[in-house]
Every structure is written in C-alpha cells, then in structure tokens.
Amino acid sequence: MGNKILYTILLFFSIEHLNAQFSAVDITFDDRLLRSDEKQEIFALREDMNHFFLSTAWDEVYNDLGIVLHIQIIFESGQSKGNVKTFNCQALFSNGSDLRYFDKSVQFYYNSGTSLYFDPVLFEPLPGFLAYYAYIILAGEIDTYEFNGGNSAYEIAREIALRGSSSEYKKGWGNRISMVDNLSRNVGLRKARLAWYITLDLIKEGNIDGALGELKLLLDGLEQSYDDVGRDHNTQYFLKVHSEAIASTLGKLGRREMLKDMQELDPDRRDVYQKTLDLISE
C-alpha cells in the first residue's frame, strides 16, 4: 500500500514537471532587515516560489531545457496597507552562467494562505514579477538554440511589464520595460551568444570548419553589439563569463588574428587573450 502511495506521488510530480522549463530553483532570502513577525509572514514564500517556477509550463515548444534558476531576494522593509502586507526588496535572477539580472526596486504583497499563480490577463505584483524574470531567462536560453528564438518570451515579459506599470504597484516596472527592450534589441549580443553555443556543440562533434565559421559570427555579433548599443552591461557580462573559454578555443585552433580581434572587442580582458597569444608560435 505504501509503495502505491509513493508511486502516485512520484507520478503526480513527474506529470506536473513534464512541461516545465526549469528543472531546479535555488532560492535564497536575506531577511535581516525584517522584524520577527514579518519573517514569519514570508515563511512559506520560498516553497511557494519554488512550486510556481517548477509547476508552470512557460513555453509549449521548448519544454525540456532543464534550466537551473538562481534567485536571491533581499528584503528591505515591510509595510501594511489596510489588511495587505507589502514588502520592498531587491532581487537577483541568474541561470548560473551568462544570464544575470539585478533588480533594485521590487514591491509586492504576499499572503501565505493563497498559492502563486500567473494569470496572463489579471496582473498581480508577485506572480507578475516572478513570471517577468522567468520569461527573461527563458528568452535568453532559447536564443542559444535559434536566432531570435526568444522573441516570443521577451514579448510576454514586456506585456507583463506594461501591465505592471499601469497597476497600483507600479514601482520598478518602468525600468523593467526598458530592460526587456534593451535585451531584445541587442541583436549583436543575441547573435554572438547563439554562435558561441553552436561553436561548443560543433567542436564536440569534431566539426572544426563549422566551428570556425560560428566563431567568426561570434566576433561579428560582438562588433554589431558595440555599434548598436555601445558598452552594454549584458554584453560585458557575457564576455566576463566566457572570455577565458573563448580565448582557449581560439588558441587551440591557432587563430591569432581572431584573438587580436577579441582584444579590441573586449579590452577589459585584453590580458586573457594576450596570455593565449603568447602560447601560440608565430
């Protein structure tokens, strides 16, 4: 009997997570600025958030991405508006790699007695905020499989931000509109990220010629990013995360000129490429 119950529970969770894009969610809270009673009020929030991300089918096509989502919430204060308790926070969302977004102006209410649910029509501050970043991360991940593949997810995130900006809880939503617009229009970075991940796959397959072609597209994308949006911090973060791997890959392929090009495109990490150049004979 016990085994049947266990099987039913496991079956429920396997079905529930079948179409989930997030395979795990690592959530940390910094609640040192909250009073003890306020800490109790958010006691169930971490588990509610975890269930929210894992149980929602965010995209019908890309349903097996297995993204590990990292979230840090820094609580700054809590305040009561009638019977509603509102929290002010800062937040950090990341895929643990080259997608990382910091939000310093977050406001939402939370009632531990109700489950979190994202309604694409009816805006609520907390589910809307979490769904916004779910789609932002999802868009960036899909972009590594298909050129501009994240467009639909970016558009949904933008729609959420527009509804948020016209709601009673509009704090931070204007910045989120700007953020999603900046991400989606940085076509050069989107090209570069796609090219880099295809490069890694082609090298694993032993397709060196194909990898060299994608590395050229990587450099072209970075140059386009600088031409279109200047020293965008998202492009800089991509380079910070991947510069050593890019340098190593170019070094193993003996691409001196491309390493020199990367020094121009990524001057903050010029020494990374120089170290590789020094290992390659003329």
Q: Domain limits of the chain?
A: 2-142, 188-279
Determine the Cα–Cα distance for residues 158 and 60; give it in Å rounded to an integer: 19
Tokens linked to 233: 């911090």
pLDDT of residue 282: 62
Per-residue model confidence (pLDDT) at position 84: 85
Q: Report the pLDDT averaged over residues 194-209.
A: 98
Structure confidence at residue 7 as a pLDDT band (50, 70, 90): very low
- Which stretch of DSSP H or E encloses residue 193? helix 187-205
Q: Residue type at 247?
A: A
Of the pLDDT bands very low, low, confident and very high (cuts 50, 70, 90), residue 83 is confident
The answer for residues whose C-beta is within 8 angstroms of residue 140's C-beta and 6 or more apart is 95, 98, 99, 150, 183, 193
Residue pLDDT, tens place only, 121-162: 999 999 999 999 999 999 999 999 999 999 999 999 999 999
Mean pLDDT of 249-278: 97
CB 84 within 8 A of CB 109: yes
Residue 282, classified by CB atoms within 10 Å of its CB into exposed (0-12), middle (13-18) or buried (19+), is exposed
